[in-house]
Amino acid sequence: MDAFPGDPSEIVGVGLCTIRFCRAVLRADGSLAQPVLSWMDARVGAPFVAEHDDVAYVTTSSGYVTHRLTGAFRDTAANYQGVWPIDTDTWRWSADEAAYAATGMRPDQLFELVAPGEVLGTVTDAAAAATGLPVGLPVVATANDKAVEALGCGLLEPTTLLVSLGTYIAGMSVGERNIAGATDFWTNFGSEPGRYLYESGGIRRGMWTVSWFRDLLGPDFAAAAEAAGERPEDRLNREAAAVPAGSDGLLTVLDWLAPADAVFRKGSILGFDGRQGRAHVYRSILEGIAMTMRDRGDAMAAELGTAYARVVVSGGGSSSDLVMQVMADVFQTPTIRMVGDSAAGRGAAICAAVATGVHPSFEAAAAAMVVERDRFTPDPSTAAVYDALRAVHADVTVHTDEVYRRTSAIVG
């Protein structure tokens, strides 16, 4: 709050959103009985087992932060995906005793649930002293980080695909049906009551791979870029923009973190023949991201029976004009960026605006608060190259899986 440029008295509410799939185990007074479990911790994917005798509550990271801010044992219903006894049709705790047995949780260990866009509580004196937020400020339920990001991108109708370029890259659309058992997507809670977020298969270590390659170039590259008044990312984007579509034959398959059903798998960069330099590798990584997400977005669209008329791109990677153009050419659809760096922050603010009456509905709030920054249209000649390459890219793992099975048995 020390960096807040406005008058804190003008703040009308706080929209609270945290990373999903995390688990907090609390004592009766709301303090942590153990460190919060990351979404990557294997324990969050298994039934709960108390590791300490003083455990009173099991909640999400948003439930824990809600308690720290308000003193209330309440949480958003829309952050309970994974191993929880929740009824995803009603957004309430399950009425089935078997659900509690299966998750290892008792009803008395669970927080009261609140819908997105409703008030969780108000900022306490202690929380105000710790954060600088005004005492008594309403703290508003949102959802989970991906759902709030989608809301912050204006994702309110099913003909838009959102591609979120984060460490985990996902394709998302919305609808009003809780669809179980889908093959090419899964159903998550959305940021508006009754609305669901559909998520395609994604890329683990997605934009992390871009950062990995940038850092691999070393301090000399970074220093040269900075001496020229550029960030290392800007120099790579500028150089890669001059590389032809297809990166002169390089194909990147982004399995830098192997999926659970193929733990032997590794990432691949194939097709070196002497023509390529660092700009080709960088562009190939971006093309691999775009082609993978086009295939996974198409698979989700086919299963949902929905055609996407436009693609919104969010996350740090969307700041690159080259990324946006590659996405447009691969998807053969206009790609759009919204004003503002934090779509998730904007989505949380939309929930707070609805709860506090600043806007009368989610639709009205999104219309007022989500503003298109610019859009990129496909280049037909480049799109044709990518359309042909996608079929090749999709087949690479058929040929490399056996190689990686063999090398994994030798060197891990």
Instruction: Provide the pLDDT confidence category of residue 40 given band limits of 50, 70 and 90.
Output: confident
Per-residue pLDDT of 202-239, as tens digits, reads: 999 999 999 999 999 999 999 999 999 999 999 999 99
Task: Provide mean pLDDT across the span 89-101.
Answer: 97
Q: In the chain, count H helices and then E strands.
A: 12, 18
> DSSP letters of 193-209?
TT-EEEEE--BTTHHHH
Sign of the CA dihedral with 321 first, then 322, 328, and 331 last: negative
H helical segments located in 115-252: 125-131, 145-152, 206-216, 218-227, 232-241
87 residue type, one letter:
D
Per-residue pLDDT of 371-405, as tens digits, reads: 999 999 999 999 999 999 999 999 999 999 999 99
Task: Provide mean pLDDT across the span 37-45.
Answer: 93
Structural domains present in the chain: 8-136 (3.30.420.40), 145-342+370-412 (3.30.420.40)
Q: Report how far apart, in Å, the C-alpha atoms of 404 and of each of 343, 397, 411, 412 are.
A: 38, 10, 10, 9
Residue whose tokens read 């509580």: 121
366 residue type, one letter:
A
Q: What pLDDT, on the 0 to 100 scale, is given for residue 341?
A: 84
The DSSP H or E segment spanning 67 is helix 61-70
Query: Can you give 157-177 as a three-state secondary structure string?
Result: CCCEEEEECCCCEEEEEEECC
Q: Torsion angle, CA of 172/177/179/185, rounded to 10 degrees?
A: -10
Q: What pLDDT, on the 0 to 100 scale, is given for residue 260?
A: 83
Q: What pLDDT, on the 0 to 100 scale, is given for residue 336?
A: 98
Give the C-alpha separation, 106 to 110, whole Å: 7
Chain-wide mean pLDDT for the chain?
96
Whether residue 11 is predicted with pLDDT greater than 90 in this model: the reply is yes
Give the C-alpha separation, 353 to 234, whole Å: 36
